[in-house]
Chains A and B, each alone.
Chain A
Amino acid sequence: MRTPLRLYALGLAAAMVPFVLLSHDLFWLNILIYMYLFAGLAVAWNIIAGFGGQFSLGHGVFFAVGAYMTARLYLNWGITPWLGLIPGALVCAVLGALIFLPTFRLKGSFFAIATLAFNEVGFVFANYLESVTGGPRGLQVPFRAAWSNMIFADPRGYALLMFAFMAVCVAISIALMRSRLGYYLLAVREDEDAARAAGIDVTGVKLRGTALSAALTAIGGGLFAMYVRTIDPPTLFSLPDIGVKFALLALIGGMGTITGPVLGAFLIVPVESYLRAVLGGEWPGTHLIVLGFVMLLAALFMRHGVAGALDSLWRRWRRRT
């Protein structure tokens, strides 16, 4: 059964509520910016991993390439990030198809580990290619506030930008799930052999899904670069903060659904950032202890994520009335 479009519109409007309530507070505004950005990124990851069943742990590469390209184009040739996002997305669509192509015959854990290796290769090369990436010192984007530079004096601009990114990712996911490619992806996830027997070009479907997912992830990376304005390899290729984070958010929210990844980001990012701010200074690592514990409980007691738990609650309630 399709969810009507107006419900999604309502959901997006609800997603604006925290912005309206909290945007006057700079501490919370920073958290909201990350929340919207990572919601979009989790939705992008979910396209190939949730719908297509290809559990990628290598999306950090696309994120990093998008970040470096956007920053480089702006720094060297003064190309506005609004346009600079596009080459990054295109490059990553091709790159994603190229590097995932040899790994698609692997399944399950093997695919996850192979894609994880891409992240490590990326990290080593990002440190090595100093002329492009700035090496271990990274790239710094000077603060020159202007709309055309995608640098805002008022951080609310970033929040709206990230919100728009999230909305675009969600819209693309909705459109995808109503398209032929979306049904193909689901078929491949459910049973590859059956999909092939039904005449689906399995590899082609995986490649198109990857390209779309990688391109959106690259755009997210570019936006991240313009917000933090300092990017270096340890940040961009971090597994718990970037590469595996997309997967964690989508899993905790509910993989393979449209709302799940968004819910995951809306729950975890604020909790994590808040705990980091409150506990991080006093006792290093305690916020991550809490987070690890929450994740463990979520894995054990919400097998299908928040979206799955809400769905079964809703069904039970419907049956009773």
Chain B
Amino acid sequence: MDTVLNVLVVGILLGGIYGLVSIGLNLIFGVIRIVNFAQGELVMLGMYGAYLAYTMLGLDPYVSVLVVVPALFVIGLVMQRLVIQPLQNEPSMQIFATFALLILLQNVVLALTRGQGYSVPTQVAGMGLELGEIRIPATRLVIFLAVTTIAVLLHLFLMHTLAGKSIRAVTQDRQAARLMGINVERTFTVTFGIGAALAGLAGVLLAPIYTLSPGIGGNFILAAFAVVVLGGLGSVAGAYFGGLIVGLVEAFAGFYIDPELKQAIWFLIFLAVLVVRPTGLFGQVGAEEVGFREQG
């Protein structure tokens, strides 16, 4: 019984990590409908931001959130204005451009750090919760609490504020939204900024857990895409529960089937969901039918 419980806890905590890196991606994917390959690199930038804040300002990563997240928001705005917006009607070129950004960001960091791995210490590192046999490290617990809070806040923001409502309107029908007087381009820019800021937050919170390397974004991006499709396009609840499902599947498959196959198993589940219910578990029916051409 204890082992099952242990695997369950490991899975939920892992799910928190996947949820956290997916929420920003899901917002961008859901609203702007582009495959942002560079999202993992934004997480990576958030991690290095936490490292810089620690070495230069002596800030604990949990404090540096206040600096890094706004910085990533600005980076997101710039990326959207300079690269994504001009390619609005060229979806395959957008994929191509975000892939170029991925290569660019990864290798700029590689050249600057010369490939040396860094780690970011925090006051919280040694702490944890003990529940009988099961130990929950504080760093991972913080992530789980953070993703839960963000999911709730983002949901409230989208449901009850004017900016949130305009984002939802653009998601549903950008032509109609434009006719209602919503500035679609500005909504895109703000959405991309928020998505990048959320990636930055994920990066800062993940920094104490991982050894920083320029290619680390690749560890998250495919999982994040799986979470997005599994949960549902543009749905906050989808990213949250999708993350948990992927985390649990990975933990249980890794423990009971074969650790080497755990990724293949959740990818196969991902493909199965994509085929059976392309809208995802929480997505709006019909969203996946909007292909490249109908975006206009």
Residue ranges of A at the interface with B (Cβ–Cβ < 8 Å) = 53, 55, 102-103, 105-110, 112-114, 116-118, 120-121, 124-125, 127-128, 191, 240, 244, 247-248, 251-252, 255, 283-286, 288-289, 291-293, 295-296, 299-300, 303
How many residues of B sit at the interface, in one of the four size bands? 35 or more
Please indicate which of the listed interface residues A55, A120, A247, A252 has the most CB atoms of chain B within 10 Å of its own CB.
Answer: A120
- Whether B288 contacts A106 by the Cβ 8 Å rule is yes
Q: Which partner residue on chain A sits nearest B271 by CB separation?
A: A117
Stretch at the interface among B42-50, B63-71, B109-117, B156-164: B109-117
Question: What are 8 A-B interface contacts by the 8 Å CB criterion?
Answer: A105-B275, A120-B264, A285-B108, A292-B103, A295-B96, A296-B97, A299-B87, A300-B97
- Whether A107 contacts B92 by the Cβ 8 Å rule is no
Point out the residues of chain A lying under 8 angstroms from B95, CB to CB.
55, 109, 112, 247
Is B289's beta carbon under 8 Å from chain A? yes
Minimum CB–CB distance from B285 to chain A (whole Å) comes to: 13
Stretch at the interface among B8-16, B27-35, B120-128, B165-173: B27-35
Minimum CB–CB distance from B238 to chain A (whole Å) comes to: 14
Q: How long is the Cα–Cα vector from A286 to B90 in the complex, in angstroms?
A: 28
Partner of B92, one of A103, A251, A293: A251
Partner of B35, one of A109, A240, A288, A303: A109
- Whether B100 contacts A296 by the Cβ 8 Å rule is yes
Stretch at the interface among B139-147, B175-183, B221-229: B221-229
Point out the residues of chain B lying under 8 angstroms from A103, CB to CB.
271, 274-275
Partner of A117, one of B114, B267, B292: B267
Q: How long is the Cα–Cα vector from A99 to B35 in the complex, in angstroms?
A: 21
Is B152's beta carbon under 8 Å from chain A? no
- Whether A110 contacts B274 by the Cβ 8 Å rule is yes
Minimum CB–CB distance from B79 to chain A (whole Å) comes to: 11
Is B132's beta carbon under 8 Å from chain A? no
- Whether B229 contacts A300 by the Cβ 8 Å rule is no
Minimum CB–CB distance from A249 to chain B (whole Å) comes to: 11
- Whether A108 contacts B225 by the Cβ 8 Å rule is no
- Whether B34 contacts A109 by the Cβ 8 Å rule is yes
Is B57's beta carbon under 8 Å from chain A? no
Minimum CB–CB distance from B31 to chain A (whole Å) comes to: 13
- Whether B93 contacts A108 by the Cβ 8 Å rule is no
Point out the residues of chain B lying under 8 angstroms from A300, CB to CB.
83, 86-87, 97
**Further 14 A-B residue pairs, CB within 8 A, beyond A109-B29, A299-B97:** A108-B290, A109-B34, A112-B95, A117-B270, A127-B260, A128-B264, A284-B111, A285-B106, A286-B111, A292-B100, A295-B103, A296-B101, A300-B86, A300-B97
- Whether B96 contacts A108 by the Cβ 8 Å rule is no
Point out the residues of chain A lying under 8 angstroms from B87, CB to CB.
299-300, 303
Point out the residues of chain B lying under 8 angstroms from A292, CB to CB.
100-104, 107
- Whether B96 contacts A248 by the Cβ 8 Å rule is yes
Is B76's beta carbon under 8 Å from chain A? no
- Whether B263 contacts A124 by the Cβ 8 Å rule is yes
Minimum CB–CB distance from B216 to chain A (whole Å) comes to: 14
Point out the residues of chain A lying under 8 angstroms from B292, CB to CB.
53, 55, 107-109
- Whether B111 contacts A124 by the Cβ 8 Å rule is no
Q: How long is the Cα–Cα vector from A244 to B97 in the complex, in angstroms?
A: 12
Instruction: Give the number of residue pairs across the A-B interface with Cβ within 8 Å.
Output: 143
Residue ranges of B at the interface with A (Cβ–Cβ < 8 Å) = 29, 33-35, 83, 86-87, 90-97, 99-104, 106-108, 110-111, 114-115, 214, 222, 225-226, 229, 258, 260-261, 263-264, 267-268, 270-271, 274-275, 278, 288-293, 295
Q: Which partner residue on chain B sits nearest A128 by CB separation?
A: B260
- Whether A285 contacts B107 by the Cβ 8 Å rule is yes
Question: Knowing A108-B292, A120-B263 touch, does A251 contact B111 (C-beta < 8 A)?
Answer: no
Q: How long is the Cα–Cα vector from A248 to B96 in the complex, in angstroms?
A: 7
Point out the residues of chain B lying under 8 angstroms from A124, CB to CB.
260-261, 263-264, 267
Q: Which partner residue on chain A sits nearest B82 by CB separation?
A: A300
Minimum CB–CB distance from A305 to chain B (whole Å) comes to: 9
Minimum CB–CB distance from B274 to chain A (whole Å) comes to: 5
Q: Which partner residue on chain A sits nearest B91 by CB separation?
A: A108
Q: Which partner residue on chain B sits nearest A192 by CB separation?
A: B291
Minimum CB–CB distance from B249 to chain A (whole Å) comes to: 14
Minimum CB–CB distance from B99 to chain A (whole Å) comes to: 6
- Whether A105 contacts B267 by the Cβ 8 Å rule is no
- Whether B291 contacts A289 by the Cβ 8 Å rule is no
Minimum CB–CB distance from B166 to chain A (whole Å) comes to: 22
Point out the residues of chain B lying under 8 angstroms from A251, CB to CB.
92-93, 96
Question: Knowing A106-B278, A240-B103 touch, does A121 contact B86 (C-beta < 8 A)?
Answer: no
Q: Which partner residue on chain A sits nearest B112 by CB separation?
A: A285
Point out the residues of chain A lying under 8 angstroms from B34, CB to CB.
109
- Whether B96 contacts A121 by the Cβ 8 Å rule is no
Question: Knowing A284-B111, A291-B103, A292-B107 touch, does A116 contact B225 (C-beta < 8 A)?
Answer: yes
Point out the residues of chain B lying under 8 angstroms from A120, CB to CB.
222, 263-264, 267
Q: How long is the Cα–Cα vector from A295 to B33 in the complex, in angstroms?
A: 21
